[in-house]
Amino acid sequence: MSIFEYKVIPAPFSGKRAKGVKGADGRFANALSESINELASAGWEYVRAESLPSVERKGLMRKRHEAYQNVLVFRRLSDTDPLDENADKKDGFNPFKRFSAKTPPVVAAPEVQVTSEKAILSEVSEKSDETGKTDDTGGVETTPKKED
């Protein structure tokens, strides 16, 4: 199975002058053939010309307007193996890859000791038994012990 990569370029808008070429049709054909021959010399095969719709903003109020863009489509055999797992690492645009390649920084959080409610209540009751005093909120009032 062969895999192709495609290249799309805008079609020329106006003709290009050359020696022996007469008329607007001839100049436009000359510009088109030069575009195709330029990419063909780089190994690209001409597939077809397409006229595709695109939405543009025109005028003072920048209202949306549908316009048609003429493009030329080229293809060539890709040098990557379709079963190769590293094929997505090839340089170039990959539409399925996340745009942000940066990984978020890892921040080490301080260790937090998780205790159950029973453990906290038993600790509070032990402290209240030692001092014998509790404050109004149910917590333990700590008073320094005097040693004789």
Closest CA to 132 of 123, 144, 121, 140: 140
- Distance between CA 66 and CA 55 in Å, rounded? 5
Spatial contact of 90 and 80, defined as CB atoms under 8 Å apart: yes
- Distance between CA 76 and CA 91 in Å, rounded? 17
Residue by residue, DSSP assigns 82-124 as TT-TTGGGSSS--TTS-S--PPPPP-PPPP-----HHHHHHHH
C-alpha pair distances (Å), 27 with each of 17, 18, 104: 6, 7, 55
pLDDT (mean) for 3-10: 90
Say whether pTM exceeds 0.75: no
pLDDT at 73 over 90: yes
Give the total residue count for the chain. 148
Residue 81, pLDDT score = 65
pLDDT (mean) for 98-124: 65
Spatial contact of 74 and 46, defined as CB atoms under 8 Å apart: yes
Q: What is the DSSP letter of 80?
A: S
Domain assignments of the chain as residue spans, ordered by start = 4-80
pLDDT 10s digits, 9-61 = 998 888 888 888 888 889 989 999 999 999 999 999 999 999 989 888 888 88
Q: Which residue has the higher pLDDT, 33 or 147?
A: 33
Beta strands in 1-148 (DSSP E): 4-10, 45-58, 63-77
Spatial contact of 76 and 43, defined as CB atoms under 8 Å apart: yes
